[in-house]
Amino acid sequence: MTRLLTPLLIINTKNYLEVSGDKALGLAKAAEAVSHKIGVEIAVAPPTPFLGQIARAVSIPVLSQHVDTDMPGISTGAVVPEIVKSCGAVGSIINHSEKRIPYSLLKDTVNRMNSVGLFSVVCVQTAEEASKVAGLDVDFIAIEPPELIGSGIAVSKAKPEIVSRSVEAVRRVNGTVNVICGAGIVSGDDVASALRLGSAGVLVASGVVKSEDWSNKISELSIPLKSFSNPL
């Protein structure tokens, strides 16, 4: 399994109309160009219908926005990990605030991801939840207070203690898990603040998707990562 480097920028495009059709590939190509130019790790999580198309078209990591535990075969409508992998994706976001799942199902999902050889980026809402999830064999935990998602108010500034407490809580349980943060990240300064709090990267969505110039915005968010990373 190819390793995801840190610090990491993950762009979750969600299902905004701004990334419908061929526009989803346009954003992914913009992220790829910035990743190569600046020399930082950027992953994209496109709308599910475009997962395979984008994974084949770009060299940067591609993630699914969600997976289910359903098995291949008679599982109509499910997002099956084996199919996600066959599309060329390297992992998936799991348990996002807009797609929460019970802890027992989360545990099963992470186990399925590991058995298939896919990365898990598990979203949590509190430091306490981060600590609990750290006990699973996950790769990344993304701390995202739901009230700040899409607000334009960065968690790294509005509630920095949530980020630092989550980092500390996860380290006490499993020092190999990387903690990233999201919710309201819209500027390079927001990213720098997150990194200073111990975050290994950021998860962004509308701050990029709804920006007027994808390349410029992705570059702005990526530059702070460069000073915390080695050249790719």
Residues annotated catalytic, as ranges: 96, 144
Name the burial class of residue 228, with classes exposed (0-12), middle (13-18) and buried (19+) by CB atoms within 10 angstroms of its CB. middle
Provide, for the chain, the percentages of residues in helix, strand and coil under a 3-state DSSP scheme, each rounded to the nearest 5: 45, 15, 40
Q: How far apart are CA 210 and CA 19, in angstroms?
A: 9
Q: Please, where are the H alpha helices in the chain?
A: 23-34, 51-57, 81-86, 103-116, 127-133, 155-158, 160-173, 188-196, 206-209, 214-226
Total number of residues shown for the chain: 232
Q: Which two tokens stand for residue 145?
A: 């207070």
Task: State the amino acid at position 64 in one-letter form.
Answer: S
Do 60 and 86 form a contact (C-beta atoms < 8 A)? Answer: no
Task: State the amino acid at position 171 in one-letter form.
Answer: R
Name the burial class of residue 15, with classes exposed (0-12), middle (13-18) and buried (19+) by CB atoms within 10 angstroms of its CB. middle
